[in-house]
Amino acid sequence: MAEPVRFPNIPLYEGWGAPNRVESDILGLELIAGELPQDLRGCLFRCGPDRQFPSLFKDDIFIDGEGMMHGWYFRDGQVDYKCRWVRNERFLLQEKARRSLFGRYRNRYTNDPSVAGKDQGTANTSAIWHGKKLLALKEDSLPMEVDPYTFEVKGYHNYNGKVNALSMTAHPKFDYAKNELLSFSYQAKGDATTDFLLHVVDASGDIVHQIAFHMPFPAMVHDFAVTDTHFVVPFFPIMTDMEVIKAGGPYYQWHQDKECHVAIVPRRGTADQIQWFKGPACSAGHMMNAFNEGSMLHLDLCLYEGNCFAFFPAYDGSEYKPCPPLLTRMTFDLHHPEAGFSKRVLGPMPSEMPQIDERFVGKPYRYGYTISFAPPRRVSQLGVWDHQTGELKLWNPGPDSSIQEPKFVPRGPGEGNGYLVMPVNRVAENRSDLAVLDAQNVEAGPIALFKMPIRVKASFHGMWVPAQTMQTGLYNFP
Ligand SMILES: [Fe+2]
């Protein structure tokens, strides 16, 4: 006989954060404002965590939880929606037991003994389409292939055995000009290992180049960046201590007294070509873009002058010091790695989940798109950054509302010529909308707004896949 399901009364599970635990199909979302652009055909895939059952620990953290895939299919003049759990080994084991069996975030030493040696991956962070495969990503595991129309699990994808690692990032980068996917694995040989691998994947899904090296410490590496010529990999001092996790503690801890290290290496280079740049402790979850300018390399990221993850404590027990994420340009002189790097804040508005017109990944670029937190109450708004003029344009989704990560969809030639598509949280109504905006005129508000009768709790990251690409596997953006 299973125990009744009781979610603890903790802030994480209140209001918008309450576990949803519902799979849905909606044929034809209700269009409540504007018109659907006729050239917008394809699917917005996204993935995020939900809680299948109450966590084994009351100090659950919001990035944990079983993966839920979401798809908004733009077809036949309407938008259909589907969400399904990623029914992987962890999910099925817990489904059978009717309770959580896996413990603290990534900490296998806190799991129920009945799942010792089982796969604890959650597949809860992002969804990408590459090599004719839809992949649910989580940085603790290899990519999980799922059916693009049913979200049925097909199994882990290891690139024909070429990934000599236990995991791959949820933040790979696309080079649409070359139809290449750039990716990496960190702690690649298991918990607290320093093994790191960079991968170049061609259009057919084959790994065609790898670079293996060791991190300066067993870091958390959530995101990285690429330029046309180089990989840029920051190692912030958020790290894993084997003794701590064996004792049941947090998987990551913040080390204020350690430097951050940035590895820069040619995309088709070798480990001995890595240039290392060092600087005082800081951190970031997400990168906007990077590009070359002569011998200088610029990396734009949402930088915290401290610990970017409040739920990963300081190793020495010191109190968490809040710090806002500020869009910052780090600059590296490839002729002088010994000089470290410079930093320049690009604007005062705290911002996160940065996106760009991905046709400009790795290239000099003008526009960035973020969730921005505008005063006076740090309301979540859409931010459009113009690096040429320094201007920041905002779209406020309305009272008691916030947005999730905006994805750019190309419409025609020229940077920024496209749409921004994003879920909108209607917090007071406990449900969501899907908004489509003209990326060149966001202040006018949505050109199409679809009402959802349900709540899309948290979908972290995802990808727009044009209808044609779902057939051919190739991206042919204008
Ligand atoms: Fe992320």
In the reported structure, the alpha carbon of residue 281 is separated from the centroid of ligand 1 by a whole-number distance in angstroms of: 20
Question: What is the pLDDT at residue 190?
Answer: 97
Cα R_g (the chain), whole angstroms: 21
**381, 406, 402: which is closest to 392 by C-alpha?**
381
In the reported structure, the alpha carbon of residue 354 is separated from the centroid of ligand 1 by a whole-number distance in angstroms of: 10
Give every CB contact of residue 389 below 8 A, 6+ residues apart in sequence: none
Question: What is the pLDDT at residue 178?
Answer: 85
Instruction: Collapse the DSSP code of 94 into the 3-class scheme (helix H, G, I; strand E, B; otherwise coil) and give the result.
Output: helix
In the reported structure, the alpha carbon of residue 86 is separated from the centroid of ligand 1 by a whole-number distance in angstroms of: 18
* Measured torsion, CA atoms of residues 313, 314, 317, 321, in degrees rounded to the nearest 10: -90
In the reported structure, the alpha carbon of residue 183 is separated from the centroid of ligand 1 by a whole-number distance in angstroms of: 14
In the reported structure, the alpha carbon of residue 185 is separated from the centroid of ligand 1 by a whole-number distance in angstroms of: 15
In the reported structure, the alpha carbon of residue 125 is separated from the centroid of ligand 1 by a whole-number distance in angstroms of: 7
In the reported structure, the alpha carbon of residue 63 is separated from the centroid of ligand 1 by a whole-number distance in angstroms of: 9
Question: What is the pLDDT at residue 204?
Answer: 85
In the reported structure, the alpha carbon of residue 285 is separated from the centroid of ligand 1 by a whole-number distance in angstroms of: 6
Tell me, what DSSP letter sits at residue 219?
B
Question: What is the pLDDT at residue 472?
Answer: 83
In the reported structure, the alpha carbon of residue 223 is separated from the centroid of ligand 1 by a whole-number distance in angstroms of: 7
Distance CA 159, CA 180 (A): 14
* Alpha helices (H) along 145-241: none
**376 cis-preceded (ω within 30 degrees of 0):** yes
In the reported structure, the alpha carbon of residue 388 is separated from the centroid of ligand 1 by a whole-number distance in angstroms of: 26
Question: What is the pLDDT at residue 179?
Answer: 84
Question: What is the pLDDT at residue 477?
Answer: 82
In the reported structure, the alpha carbon of residue 33 is separated from the centroid of ligand 1 by a whole-number distance in angstroms of: 30
Distance CA 177, CA 159 (A): 21
In the reported structure, the alpha carbon of residue 97 is separated from the centroid of ligand 1 by a whole-number distance in angstroms of: 30
Q: Which residues pair with 291 in a beta bridge?
A: 298
In the reported structure, the alpha carbon of residue 38 is separated from the centroid of ligand 1 by a whole-number distance in angstroms of: 31
Tell me, what DSSP letter sits at residue 278?
E
In the reported structure, the alpha carbon of residue 432 is separated from the centroid of ligand 1 by a whole-number distance in angstroms of: 21
In the reported structure, the alpha carbon of residue 199 is separated from the centroid of ligand 1 by a whole-number distance in angstroms of: 19
**456, 430, 339: which is closest to 14 by C-alpha?**
430
In the reported structure, the alpha carbon of residue 451 is separated from the centroid of ligand 1 by a whole-number distance in angstroms of: 26
In the reported structure, the alpha carbon of residue 73 is separated from the centroid of ligand 1 by a whole-number distance in angstroms of: 23
In the reported structure, the alpha carbon of residue 460 is separated from the centroid of ligand 1 by a whole-number distance in angstroms of: 7
pLDDT tens-digit readout, 308-330: 999 999 999 999 999 999 999 99
In the reported structure, the alpha carbon of residue 15 is separated from the centroid of ligand 1 by a whole-number distance in angstroms of: 22
Domain spans of the chain?
1-170, 174-346, 357-459
Question: What is the pLDDT at residue 146?
Answer: 98
Which residues of the chain carry a pLDDT beneath 50?
none
Long-range CB contacts (within 8 A, 24+) of 347-352: 347/385, 347/390, 347/392, 349/373, 349/374, 349/383, 349/392, 350/324, 350/325, 350/326, 350/378, 351/302, 351/325, 351/326, 351/327, 351/383, 351/385, 352/285, 352/286, 352/302, 352/325
In the reported structure, the alpha carbon of residue 113 is separated from the centroid of ligand 1 by a whole-number distance in angstroms of: 30
In the reported structure, the alpha carbon of residue 287 is separated from the centroid of ligand 1 by a whole-number distance in angstroms of: 9
In the reported structure, the alpha carbon of residue 305 is separated from the centroid of ligand 1 by a whole-number distance in angstroms of: 18
pLDDT tens-digit readout, 200-212: 999 888 999 999 9
Pairing mode of beta strands 42-50, 66-75: antiparallel
Question: What is the pLDDT at residue 22?
Answer: 96
In the reported structure, the alpha carbon of residue 461 is separated from the centroid of ligand 1 by a whole-number distance in angstroms of: 7
In the reported structure, the alpha carbon of residue 236 is separated from the centroid of ligand 1 by a whole-number distance in angstroms of: 15
In the reported structure, the alpha carbon of residue 462 is separated from the centroid of ligand 1 by a whole-number distance in angstroms of: 10
Distance CA 106, CA 230 (A): 31
In the reported structure, the alpha carbon of residue 96 is separated from the centroid of ligand 1 by a whole-number distance in angstroms of: 30
In the reported structure, the alpha carbon of residue 248 is separated from the centroid of ligand 1 by a whole-number distance in angstroms of: 25
In the reported structure, the alpha carbon of residue 54 is separated from the centroid of ligand 1 by a whole-number distance in angstroms of: 23
Distance CA 276, CA 286 (A): 20
SS3 content of the chain, % helix, strand, coil (to 5): 10, 40, 50
Distance CA 354, CA 337 (A): 27
**36, 87, 150: which is closest to 437 by C-alpha?**
36
